[in-house]
Amino acid sequence: MVWVWVVIALVVILLLWLVAAYNGLVGARNRVDNSWSQVEVQLKRRYDLIPNLVETVKGYAAHEQETFERVIQARNAAQAAGTPAEQAEAENFLTGALRQLFALAEAYPQLRASENFQQLQAELSETENKIAVSRQIYNDTVLTFNNKVQQVPTNVVASLFGFAAREFFDAGDEAAQAPSVEF
């Protein structure tokens, strides 16, 4: 009779642990999703600023159509990216295109002196900083989640219920720096 109670107690303890491990994985997964949403909010803010920036520069350098098209194509590609890896690649391309746009702006002193251009540049720089912070939070959250998914004993629960490791958002060193203009 004692053995029955011992077995029942072990089963109850195992079930409680299973529920706790599952709930921990669900919570970690939800934190990853939430932190990715925060990255997307900042990226959308960036994408919304770009057309205004392009239009401002166009007013001073209308003959630089190729640069403008490259920036818009890069923005559209970044908006269409799906996974964090695709997003990182698209963001690197967009950062390069923005650098070309700012380099172009340096050739036009009236543009550099434009209050609208300065404001847009400042907003973009602030947004780039917010993206970097959001990306770091996302990657920290993914690290915590991936550790739970891959470490014993929660990896057993993760595999039973289909939890899989998530991708990091590694935008690379070049994209981590905000595009800047020297005035």
Q: Provide the pLDDT for residue 182.
A: 43
pLDDT, mean of residues 112-123: 89
**pTM exceeding the 0.95 threshold for the entire prediction:** no
Query: How many CB atoms neighbour CB 19 within 10 A?
Result: 11
Position 171 confidence tier, pLDDT thresholds 50, 70, 90: low
Percent of the chain with pLDDT over 70: 93
pLDDT, mean of residues 36-46: 95
- Nearest CA to 93 among 64, 70, 65? 70
| Residue linked to tokens 């970690």 | 28
DSSP for 139-168 reads HHHHHHHHHHHHSTTHHHHHHHTT--PPPP
pLDDT, mean of residues 165-176: 74
pLDDT tens, position by position, 122-156: 999 999 999 999 999 999 999 999 999 999 999 99
Q: Provide the pLDDT for residue 154.
A: 96
Which of 52-61, 62-71, 85-94 has the largest mean confidence?
85-94
